[in-house]
Amino acid sequence: MKKLFYRVGVETEQGLWYNKSGDFTGLIHTDFKWLNASNLQMPFDLELRGYLSVADSLEHLYQWFSREEIIALQTKGFFIYEYEVTDYKFYNLYQHNVINQKNI
């Protein structure tokens, strides 16, 4: 079944914690430590290799990033992306959904 998910990122699928290849960049802890979510560590987990962290609604995304933070991130090339996917799962350790980046 197809489901919609949302993510803050850039065109290259670079995220604030990891890049598209799943390598930890920690941008949120260095370049974006002004974000409220910067205290979330999200250390590497092999189970998540090939998956992107997402929110299952815009309201849920706003629990991670405020509207003001998202507007500020847009000035730095980040946008809200909407994905319609069938390959997703709930990741218990971090308590959020992830989507298979190969099926985006």
pLDDT digits (tens, 9 = 90+) for 23-57: 788 888 899 999 988 887 776 667 778 888 899 99
In a domain? residue 55: yes
Q: Whole-angstrom Cα distance, residue 49 to residue 28?
A: 19
CB 36 within 8 A of CB 43: no
% of the chain surpassing 70 pLDDT: 95
**What is residue 96's predicted lDDT score, i.e. its pLDDT?**
86
Arithmetic mean of pLDDT, 76-99 = 90
Q: How many folded domains does the chain comprise?
A: 1
Which residues share a beta bridge with 9?
79
Contacts of 95 (CB under 8 A, 6+ apart): none
In a domain? residue 43: no
CB 13 within 8 A of CB 83: no
Arithmetic mean of pLDDT, 72-97 = 91
Domain extent for 10: 3-37+49-103
